[in-house]
Structure 1
Amino acid sequence: MSDIRIVKASGQAENFSEEKLLRSIQRAGVPEKLRREAVEHIREKLYQDMPTSEIYRHILEYLGKSPYPHSGSRYSLKQAIMDLGPTGFPFESFIASILNRHGYKTETDVILPGLCVSHEVDVLAEKDNQKIMIECKFHNRIGSRTDIKVALYVMARYQDLTVGWINRDNATKLKEVWLVTNTKCTTDAIAYAQCMGIRIVSWGYPEKGNLQEMIEKEKLHPVTVLTTLNNLQKHLLLNNHMVLCRDLADNNLAFDLLKLSTDDVKKLKEEIEAL
């Protein structure tokens, strides 16, 4: 299969890899036998320069018709995060909720004084008496990357804030700066961040502690991953600051808000449990 090219959303072509596809399906918790069958299903449909988006669609359809239909929800995690948009505000709430589950205290949209100007910090996190400035960069278009301009912007704001608190006794003393994004970062952005001490948490980077791992390890999937809810219902939850599937499991307020029947509540709970 190495002679079959596939085209990523960025436009970049690469050789099709069964192993890579198997790993991506495995992360969704799909049983081994079904993983092999799904790859065989794709193998039969492969053609030269096939878009990865089409492969993704075929996998979702295949899993949806399998004995494990909810595994498709886990497989669609990356798209589900993009569906938090179009604005970045739900993504900020999502990141704050993830960090809360990992032992951090968080605030969102905090205004802090810098030396030159005040800055709105997307997420202000605290753990072990260490305060962290977190910049959330959200993309809702497949193939987008977070580039060095974003890293430069984050560092400039952080430096203004850290110099600013030196001259203010009561100012929030920041110890770290993070750049969190739902896409991959360019090599220049990563190199600059490593040089300047910015911690990047992105899709697949770093190898340990990346965004995907933080979500999957603790099962912190966003509500947009759910197939038992329509888009209107999902965004109704987001608008009411309910961003994690785990927050819905026994949340009668959410069920009332969505006006779900007893049968629909049962189906929703089953899908959440399957995650």
Structure 2
Amino acid sequence: MAKLVNVIKATGEIEPFSEEKVISSLVKAGASLEVAREIVAKVKPHLYQNIPTFEIYSTVMGLLKRRQRGVAEKYNLKKAIMDLGPTGFPFEKFVAEVLKRLGHREVATNQIIQGKCVAHEVDIVAKNKERYMIECKFHAIPGGRTDIKVALYTYARFLDIKHQGFDMPWLITNTKVTSEVKAYALCVGMRVTAWDYPEGEGLNEMIDKSGLYPVTASTRLSEKEKKQLVEKGIVFIKDI
């Protein structure tokens, strides 16, 4: 019987290594089942007890780049979004363009809106059927989650500027959200888009549907080149 190998996630949690999880993530990114199984077979000999998940990810990425470079860019998406940091401004620009591509109108970033009590800088304003006040919560460090404090202040800001023609608050984040955030948003009627949430409609799915990928996902550029492009305001692969 094969020995159980545990992995340490970015959150510090320990869980058993799952071949199925790696295969599923590869297939979801566009790899064939055959290639996914082949990669996992090559990764397994390098596993050791309490191996950090980022080491597994690095090994998988290296193998995937050699087999299917285009798929590697999609598989690299979560890290690529985090690499748009350290500030949240490139992320806001990225999300705004994704929303435009998906059919939202009147999309504008960094708008100063006068509330009943104070003025607010709104990350993104966008209109579809409803006019949204969008709060972009960016995390540059793996393992983080967007918690209830962010949901609370997002909704409080919405209440202060609602009279300016806004129909709904929308929290968009590049990480997962806590169960409290989900419950609170459902209770007050706030839209939330996070990584893999809602199911089938998460930020990663939105990006895939838009066909817009961050320049930091490129497998052809060095880390230095990616950083220089982001600093120049170039955040999409299509623009290089």
Normalising by the residue count of structure 2, what TM-score does the alignment of the two structures yield? 0.93
**RMSD between superposed Cα atoms in Å:** 1.7
Contact 2:5 2:50 in 1 (8 A): yes
> Residue in 2 aligned with 1:37?
38
Count of aligned pairs between the two proteins? 238
Moved more, 43-52 or 143-152: 43-52
1:127 Cα offset (Å): 1.7
Matched, 1:8 2:9: yes
Q: In 2 relative to 1, CA 2–90 (structure 1 residues): closer, same or farther, beyond 3 Å?
A: farther
Deviations 1:201-243 (A, max 9, x none): 0001110211011112332211111122234433444345432
1:178 to 164, 170, 182: 170
Contact 2:133 2:169 in 1 (8 A): yes
Contact 1:2 1:16 in 2 (8 A): no
1:181 Cα offset (Å): 0.4
SS at 1:10 equivalent:
coil
> Residue in 1 aligned with 2:226?
234
Rg bigger for which structure?
1
Distance 2:125 2:217 in 1: 26
Contact 2:7 2:49 in 1 (8 A): yes
Unaligned segments of structure 2, at least 5 residues? none
Matched, 1:157 2:157: yes
Contact 2:65 2:219 in 1 (8 A): no
> Residue in 2 aligned with 1:58?
59
1:63 Cα offset (Å): 1.4
Q: In 2 relative to 1, CA 2–96 (structure 1 residues): closer, same or farther, beyond 3 Å?
A: farther
Distance 2:44 2:84 in 1: 32
Q: In 2 relative to 1, CA 215–11 (structure 1 residues): closer, same or farther, beyond 3 Å?
A: same
1:113 Cα offset (Å): 0.9
Moved more, 104-113 or 23-32: 23-32
In the alignment, residue 43 of structure 1 is paired with which amino acid? K
Identity %: 45
Unaligned segments of structure 1, at least 5 residues? 166-171, 249-253, 255-275
Within 5 A, what are the aligned runs for 1:82-231? 82-105=82-105, 106-128=107-129, 130-162=130-162, 165=163, 172-231=164-223
Deviations 1:7-40 (A, max 9, x none): 1100011122211111111122112221111111
> Residue in 2 aligned with 1:17?
18
Contact 1:203 1:211 in 2 (8 A): yes
Distance 1:56 1:234 in 2: 20
Distance 1:65 1:209 in 2: 30
Deviations 1:116-171 (A, max 9, x none): 0010000000124x310000000000001101111111111111111xx2xxxxxx
Normalising by the residue count of structure 1, what TM-score does the alignment of the two structures yield? 0.82
Q: In 2 relative to 1, CA 87–36 (structure 1 residues): closer, same or farther, beyond 3 Å?
A: same
In the alignment, residue 222 of structure 1 is paired with which amino acid? P
> Residue in 2 aligned with 1:263?
none
SS at 1:229 equivalent:
coil
1:2 Cα offset (Å): 8.5
Q: In 2 relative to 1, CA 198–237 (structure 1 residues): closer, same or farther, beyond 3 Å?
A: same
Contact 2:6 2:17 in 1 (8 A): yes
Within 5 A, what are the aligned runs for 1:248-267? 248=239, 254=240
Q: In 2 relative to 1, CA 3–89 (structure 1 residues): closer, same or farther, beyond 3 Å?
A: same
